[in-house]
């Protein structure tokens, strides 16, 4: 029997962060035995904001190397670059013709990101949820692993799927469901713990990049914002402390309560130093393996070629089906 299909991707707008790793890639590894997984580097989403072409290409390879180094297995999962599969933009155009302005106006990510885009806001930044819907619908995806902030995109995809099936029949596209991941679903910025850790944050000192050295990681955790108290506890009014506990919990699998009780009588300084050590222990082998892949472009290109072939195989069938349904002559 065919396994249920999972699809996920990361924008290579910069080198990946601890947030991307704990919120996405680490979970991808756990999902790959139970599901048939399509994991992408979504370079077409990345150009909705300004990119340096040389950096974009490097960041795309870095993302893919990180997936592999973290344990995503190219023998069981399909790893590919979005722009290698032209069906994504083919379906995105169709969805542009079936999505509504009102739906896109409600997307909170557009509101957030357009504020930092100056006055020339790219049209793609407004319509990219439809490209994301195309990404999902192309593979007859059952489940999309998402953090809280991405739930809205899956909801939009479900609405559009229902609309298409209503117009053209139930077999037009498959309606996906969000798959909300556990602890680590939201890693916060170390300097502004009320905001999620982001690749493109203005101040890089609040973000742990997977390419950071151990020393850089230690320094960033040392400077992490906590609060004026001293006692380690897990509560809504101690966002900085809570974030460090969540990071430890996502890596070690220990519950926040267990972690808090191990800090009885200790200060914030201990929590910061030990969180940095736990993060470094997790990331050091991934960092080394990522480097190894990047130094062997032949192997990486081979994996990407095979991944794209598998992805195109599925995507071309879906696009042909939808082309027929909407009335294109093929």
Which position among 114, 198, 216, 252 is part of the footprint of ligand AQP (CB under 6 A)? 198
Specify the DSSP class assigned to residue 199.
Answer: T
Q: Closest distance between ligand AQP and the C-beta of residue 320, in Å? A: 28
Alpha helices of the chain — where are they, by DSSP H?
18-20, 26-31, 43-46, 53-70, 87-96, 101-105, 108-115, 123-138, 151-168, 214-222, 239-252, 256-261, 268-294, 297-326
Let me know if 38 is exposed, middle or buried by CB neighbors in 10 A (0-12, 13-18, 19+).
buried
By CB under 6 A, tell whether 82 contacts ligand AQP: no
Q: Are 16 and 62 in contact (CB under 8 A)?
A: yes
10 Å CB burial of residue 101 (0-12, 13-18, 19+) is exposed
Contact range with ligand AQP by CB under 6 A, out of 10-18, 29-37, 230-238, 290-298: 10-18
How would you class 52 by CB atoms within 10 Å of its CB: exposed for 0-12, middle for 13-18, buried for 19 or more? exposed
| Residue from 69, 11, 142, 58 nearest 303 by CA | 69
Which of these is catalytic: 15, 196, 220, 272? 196
Binder among 70, 141, 150, 249 for ligand AQP (CB under 6 A)? 150
Cβ partners under 8 Å of residue 316, min gap 6:
87
238 has catalytic annotation: no
Among this protein's residues, is 196 annotated catalytic? yes
Say if residues 147 and 10 touch (Cβ distance below 8 Å): no
176 in contact with ligand AQP (CB under 6 A):
no
Among 197, 217, 247, 319, binds ligand AQP (CB under 6 A): 197
- 312/318 Cα distance (integer angstroms): 10
Q: Is 146 in the site for ligand AQP (CB under 6 A)?
A: yes
- Whose Cβ is closer to ligand AQP: residue 42's or residue 259's? 42
Rounded Cα distance, 307 and 300, in Å: 11
State the minimum distance, in angstroms, from the CB of residue 141 to ligand AQP.
14
Nearer to ligand AQP, 151 or 324 (CB): 151
> For the purposes of burial, counting CB atoms within 10 Å of the CB of 265, is it exposed (0-12), middle (13-18) or buried (19 or more)?
exposed
Provide, rounded to whole angstroms, the least separation between the CB of residue 222 and ligand AQP: 20
Size of the site for ligand AQP (CB under 6 A): 19
Q: Which of residues 199-228 bind ligand AQP (CB under 6 A)?
A: 199-200
- Select the residue whose beta carbon is closest to ligand AQP and give its number: 23
Residue 96 sits in the site that holds ligand AQP (CB under 6 A): no
Among 74, 99, 129, 147, binds ligand AQP (CB under 6 A): 147
Determine, following the binding rule CB under 6 A, whether residue 13 of this chain makes contact with ligand AQP: yes
Task: Answer yes or no whether residue 122 interacts with ligand AQP by CB under 6 A.
Answer: no
Binding site for ligand AQP (CB under 6 A): 10-11, 13, 17, 19-20, 23-24, 146-147, 150, 185-187, 196-200
Q: Looking at the annotation, which residues are catalytic?
A: 113, 196, 199
């Amino acid at each position: 029997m065919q396994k249920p299909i999972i699809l996920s991707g990361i924008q290579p707008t910069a080198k990946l962060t601890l947030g991307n790793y704990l919120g996405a890639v680490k979970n991808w590894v756990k999902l790959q035995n139970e599901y048939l997984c399509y994991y992408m580097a979504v370079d077409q989403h990345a150009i909705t904001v300004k990119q340096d072409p040389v950096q974009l290409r490097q960041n795309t390879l870095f993302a893919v190397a990180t997936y592999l180094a973290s344990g995503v297995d190219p023998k069981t999962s399909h790893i590919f670059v979005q722009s290698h599969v032209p069906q994504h933009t083919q379906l995105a155009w169709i969805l542009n013709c079936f999505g509504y302005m009102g739906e896109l106006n409600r997307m909170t990510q557009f509101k957030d990101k357009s504020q930092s885009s100056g006055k020339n806001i790219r049209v793609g930044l407004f319509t990219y949820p439809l490209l994301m819907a195309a990404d999902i619908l192309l593979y007859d995806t059952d489940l999309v692993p998402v953090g809280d902030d991405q739930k809205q995109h899956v909801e939009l995809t479900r609405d559009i799927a229902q609309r298409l099936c209503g117009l053209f029949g139930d077999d037009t596209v498959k309606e996906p469901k969000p798959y909300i991941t556990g602890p680590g679903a939201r890693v916060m910025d170390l300097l502004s713990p009320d905001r999620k850790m982001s690749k493109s944050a203005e101040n890089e000192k609040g973000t742990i990049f997977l390419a950071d050295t151990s020393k850089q990681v230690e320094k960033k955790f040392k400077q992490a914002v906590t609060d004026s108290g001293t006692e380690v506890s897990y509560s809504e009014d101690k966002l900085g402390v809570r974030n460090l506990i969540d990071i430890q919990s996502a890596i070690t699998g220990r519950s926040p309560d267990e972690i808090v009780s191990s800090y009885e009588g200790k200060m914030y300084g201990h929590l910061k130093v030990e969180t940095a050590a736990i993060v470094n222990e997790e990331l050091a082998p991934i960092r080394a393996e990522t480097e190894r892949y990047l130094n062997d472009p032949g192997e990486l290109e081979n994996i990407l070629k095979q991944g794209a072939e598998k992805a195109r195989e599925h995507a071309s069938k879906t696009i042909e089906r939808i082309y027929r349904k909407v009335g294109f002559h093929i």
